Amino acid sequence: MIREILIYGESVLRTKGKQIEKIDDDIRALAADMLETMYDANGVGLAAQQVGRTLRLTVIDVSDAESRPSKMWVAGEEVDPKEHMPLVLINPELQPGEESEIGTEGCLSFPEITAEIPRSAKVKVTAQDLQGNRIEFEAAGLLGRAVQHEADHLNGILFIDRMSSAAKASLAGKLKRLAAESKKS
């Protein structure tokens, strides 16, 4: 089922997600709906907060993003990220690497807004999958950026919080309109 994606201005986007203690049919159905919603919106990631649920659950699929390569390592071996998509990450924990880089990001909760955002160039991820298994991998490129962006959502942090003050100032009018529109609906 395709769910409504909440737009900037909705307070739930600023809410830290609760740990998922039990992976049940409700969580599996939510993850399936989130994937369907993300694909319908042509996104590469979606967090539970963006569909109105304050849980530590995110979905990611970078397999169609040919123009923005991703790298992935499992147990220290480089693997093809496409073989691991889509990712459903429950209660993810991130360990950012030392190096950072700036790259373009957008967000389904901020239609038509993109910005240059600094992120760790490589990130180590530990999470659970839908079967409750522990998964660990490292990611770089678009996948690394997407994982960090979605993990921020789970902590109530939005990508505009990581923009330079000049970038945020230049988008102030658009952000104000988005927030006002979300209050109307």
**Token pair in block for residue 159:** 């990508």
Beta bridge partners, 157, equal none
Q: By CB neighbour count within 10 A (0-12 exposed, 13-18 middle, 19+ buried), where does 95 fall?
A: exposed
Q: Rounded to an integer, what distance in angstroms lies between the CA atom of residue 104 and that of residue 112?
A: 13
Catalytic residue among 10, 105, 138, 150: 150
Q: Is 78 a catalytic residue?
A: no
Beta bridge partners, 117, equal 103
Strand 87-96 and strand 77-79: the pairing is unpaired
Q: Rounded to an integer, what distance in angstroms lies between the CA atom of residue 60 and that of residue 159?
A: 16
Tell me the three state secondary structure of residue 42: coil
Beta bridge partners, 119, equal 101
Distance, C-alpha 83 to centroid of its chain: 19
Tell me the three state secondary structure of residue 106: strand
Residue owning tokens 């678009």: 142
Active site residues: 150
